[in-house]
Amino acid sequence: MMQHTYLIRRPLNLLALVALFAALLSACAPAPGAEGGVSAPGEAQATTITVWGWPAADVAFEAILPDFEAAYPDIKLDIQMMSFNDVHDKLLASLAAGAGAPDVTMIEINHIDRFVAKGGLVNLLEEPFNAGQYKDDMVAYKWAQATSPDGRLVAFPWDIAPATFFYRRDLFEEAGLPSDPESIAELTATWPGFIEVAKKLTDPAKQRWAIGNASDIVYTNFAHRNLFDADWNCAVNNELAVRLLTYAQEARNAGVDAKVANWSPEWQTMLGNGSIAMQYGGAWFGGFLKGWLKPEGVEWEGKWGIFEVPEDPGQNWGGSFLAIPEQSTKKEAAWKFIEFALARADSQNKMFAAVDYFPAYIPAFDDPMYQEPDPFFGGQKTRAIWVDIAVNKIKPFITTPMDAQAEQIFMSYVTMALDQGLDPQTTLNEACIEIERQTAPDKEEALKLRQ
């Protein structure tokens, strides 16, 4: 095996990934511990940059490291993996302290708004980075999410997450339903149709439910977006939100959801033992099913499929960025790594093949791999579906520096409405009042920068 002169420091316990995305998606995991690195002759003369991230970014980076080392033999990487929350919390703390930040850091979509209106990250549009040359090659909404109100680009887009429902073909067949994607797409084209399918899948006597939580029905259209209108007024009490919450209540009243929180240990157990037949997720969820979510000794190959979100398939859930803190003394080397990893089709596609991080870099979509069937999904051309969603179906949406906080408040009210059977319109009106109250300080600061 070829030896590479880099370090990858991973969490001691990767099972902590169960909680990785609990705030989208959030978690706590053990602090990273060093793993062995091999020093090559002359390495002391090389520039070593520190890269922070969370699993499975380490697997993605490993897929391109031989190519990067061949292109830049004078740049070595110290890749430090830690929990999802730790990356963002430590980054905020180091920026506030003025010390301790890495040279390159991942930032997830649910946290990017904590940085776009604040200082501490370099503006990648400026010299020597000149990232603006790649703007037209990036999915537009992803670029916008990393752009500050005053026009700075504080992070470079890595992946997007065209979102679909993932389903167990064998459980559909067991319920007497067709399992082929074409038939299921027809049956679930509307939310009433989706709920009827969910009723047939659900059998509490067998400890089986159609979905993990009915709140996912609402979250399809409000995953870190559309929480405010173009004037930054709260928009989660509009007709769409009310209609989706009404459907979610119908699903809850029909008993088709297991009432478990996504990313909880209970949810993972139920997903693994076949107690949940369908799960909403971004393209990255396919990688999770192939990897850490798959129970030991269980063969899932060919048992999964995907179908688009009912009524409005243009959905996105998740995605991440790479950024350079101002504290870095190795900014040019850091940029070379980011540019190599994220602005090259072959790099993006090698990482996508490794961990299902769907590229934000549009030229990557031209690769034949996007038209290939995926055996894990029964030969379904999942990547082609995700490309179609990303390019043709996702409509422009509003993102603001207040989204993370607003989303948390919004979903807490959705949960309350489901648990207590509250009136959707009234509940969401109250949610907007609370969102406006709690986000007012951040909005005031962000508006000062808005052009």
Mean of pLDDT over the chain = 89
- Which residues in 384-406 are b (16+ Cβ under 10 Å) and which e? bbbbbbbeebbeebbbbbbbbbb
Using one digit for the tens of pLDDT, what is the confidence trace for 286-313?
Answer: 988 988 888 888 889 999 999 999 999 9
Taken in order 244, 247, 252, 258, the sign of the CA dihedral is negative
| pLDDT of 42 higher than 70 | no
Taken in order 148, 150, 156, 162, the sign of the CA dihedral is positive
Q: Dump the DSSP string for 376-396.
A: GGTTB-HHHHHHHIIIIIPPP
- How many residues are recorded in the chain? 451
The values of phi and psi at residue 340, to 5°, are -65, -40
- Which residues in 109-148 are b (16+ Cβ under 10 Å) and which e? bbbbbbbbbbebbbbbbeeebebeebeeebbebbbbbbbb
| pLDDT of 11 higher than 80 | no
Using one digit for the tens of pLDDT, what is the confidence trace for 357-374?
Answer: 999 999 999 999 999 999
- Which residues in 156-177 are b (16+ Cβ under 10 Å) and which e? bbbbbbbbbbbbbbebbebbeb
Band of the pLDDT at 4, cuts 50, 70, 90?
A: very low
Rounded to an integer, what is the distance from CA 129 to the centroid of its chain?
26
Please report the pLDDT score of residue 24 as a whole number.
37
Region 424-442: mean pLDDT is: 97
Please report the pLDDT score of residue 3 as a whole number.
34
Using one digit for the tens of pLDDT, what is the confidence trace for 384-412?
Answer: 999 999 989 988 888 888 888 999 999 99
Report how far apart, in Å, the C-alpha atoms of 358 and of each of 83, 191, 245, 349 are. Answer: 21, 26, 29, 8
Cis ω before 73 (30° cut-off from 0): no
| pLDDT of 2 higher than 50 | no
Give percent above pLDDT 90 in the chain. Answer: 74
Using one digit for the tens of pLDDT, what is the confidence trace for 100-123?
Answer: 999 999 999 888 887 887 789 999
The two structure tokens encoding residue 40: 């090559």
Rounded to 5°, the CA angle 301-303-305 comes to 110
| pLDDT of 451 higher than 60 | no
Please report the pLDDT score of residue 420 as a whole number.
98
